[in-house]
Structure 1
């Protein structure tokens, strides 16, 4: 699988943007909303945001990443690989606010799951705390992901915890 193979592929789900701040995650999917405090202060937020925007949550969790841009941007195709499994995705939105930075990507054909995942860091000026966040919705998209659902769910939980700690 190559990045060039992804250019004309459509997203595999209709609810684009549903991992946004105020969005209700769509029915019919498995939902993930996780966060972890990763430090304090504006400098820590800036450092973590830079890592997130360069696919640092993925890389830190052990996912090999090939992306069309060095920094996440809307429309960028991303190929993630965890072991033998390829995960083709496309960045569907970017968050670049004073107190929150990150991006979400959606699945493309060939991904074992169908859905969207958001990776972000948030600064809370009220207590000077910095949080990493993952918000996602997904459902199985292949026969082999349905067959291996218990193992896939375990892998998803482990990888999500790694995402949160890595920035």
Structure 2
């Protein structure tokens, strides 16, 4: 499953993010209670965070470990592979890692949690660095695009 990924730190979004990358860890409350948690978990595990954020998703089905996906926004294609899936009573989500051809190299996770205070929270965690000349030349613009997409990810599940 890890063969072909464009970075060596596979699974690192589960814990300490590796040095040498740009790091993002952002969370937002997206609902309350078990019903909101189940709805959010189903959406996360069916690529809805990406679709609702304006990305085209070409995947063979729902999220599953080892599944490949191509995310597209405008002319940019970003191939990735699901490197782990979480399906627990109060946590659900997954991470994908970049494949060759992705403008960045690294990993991004999307985890929904039903917290003890009944809040439902989405956390996006990522580490990345430019993998292509265009991404390197983009510098601050590349980071701005990443910030805008992350903001969208955190907003879309709080909307019905």
- 2:10 — aligned with what? 16
**Pairs aligned (count):** 157
- Structure 2: state its 5+ residue gaps: none
- 2:109 — aligned with what? 118
Cα deviation, residue 68, structure 1: 2.1
Q: What RMSD in Å do the two structures reach over aligned CA positions?
A: 1.4
Answering whether residue 45 of structure 2 is matched by residue 32 of structure 1, we say: no
Cα deviation, residue 133, structure 1: 1.1
Residue deviations 1:73-104 (CA, integer Å, cap 9, x gap): 00100000011100000000001111110010
- 2:43 — aligned with what? 51
Cα deviation, residue 39, structure 1: 1.1
The separation in 2 between residues aligned to 1:51 and 1:107, in whole angstroms, is 21
Cα deviation, residue 118, structure 1: 0.2
TM-score by length of 2: 0.95
- 2:135 — aligned with what? 145
Residue deviations 1:108-165 (CA, integer Å, cap 9, x gap): 00000000000121100x2110001100000000111000121111010010010011
The separation in 1 between residues aligned to 2:58 and 2:128, in whole angstroms, is 22
Cα deviation, residue 105, structure 1: 0.3
Residue deviations 1:41-60 (CA, integer Å, cap 9, x gap): 01000000000000111111
Answering whether residue 141 of structure 2 is matched by residue 135 of structure 1, we say: no
Q: What stretches of structure 1 move > 3 A for 4+ residues in a row?
A: none
